[in-house]
Amino acid sequence: MREDAQASNHKPKRFNIIARPSAAHSSTAWNPRLLITSHIDVVPPYIPYSIDADPSDATDETIIRGRGSADAKGSVASQIIAVEELVHRKLIHPEDVMLLYVVGEEVDGAGMKRFSDSLEDPSKQFHGFESVIFGEPTENKLACGHKGIIACTITATGKAGHSGYPWSGESANEMLMRALVRILDTDLGSSDEYGNTTINVGTLAGGIAFNQLVRKTRATLPFAIKSRQYWQKKMQIISVLNVGSGTAS
């Protein structure tokens, strides 16, 4: 089954994949108790696929390379094989399991948001999952929780001008750089369970020439934090953004 993962005006279309074990009877009402899920989108750069040994001779020491091999196509393959094996050995009932593979996990979570919204559709007749297993590269360790994410865009607005006449304007790039340094230097807390809050300056965009005093520039950042700290950390981040006579928001 394919599930449209976004608005119809988005090109190209992307789809989630929803499946159940082939042994499940199509005539049986499907009300799965267990959701097994991961994501099928990957991040650049492209790395060709390769394996150190013949697949039939693979061991725990065999290395598989290629974009997405660990995050998260390895999880997807492992989940499918495990479910098929468990069904074959009659250790689980096929009607109890749903497999879900979503798109958009690396960017905006569009696939999982779309699936979550679809659960509100009464025609689906799902009564709720008892358990969910997420496939992620965790070195084969059982992870029982994870940090949440605040993703934001910071926009700095200055006054356009020429760098040969620095008094004629105010560089938004400089304001944004000062804001980013303040954020990176700010203690945004930690927890015993999940460790420190982490920050990544993902993208920077501003200016078209090296001798330009840029009027507007922006950066995108994800913050990985303990979820219950969300509002506290959001206000703490905003409080450090007063960095010049222009604005950073």
Catalytic residue among 105, 170, 174, 193: 105
Q: Are 196 and 190 in contact (CB under 8 A)?
A: yes
Cβ neighbors of 107 (< 8 A, separation 6 or more) are 41
| CA nearest to 172, candidates 148, 155, 186 | 155
Does the annotation mark 95 as catalytic?
no
Q: Which residues are catalytic?
A: 105
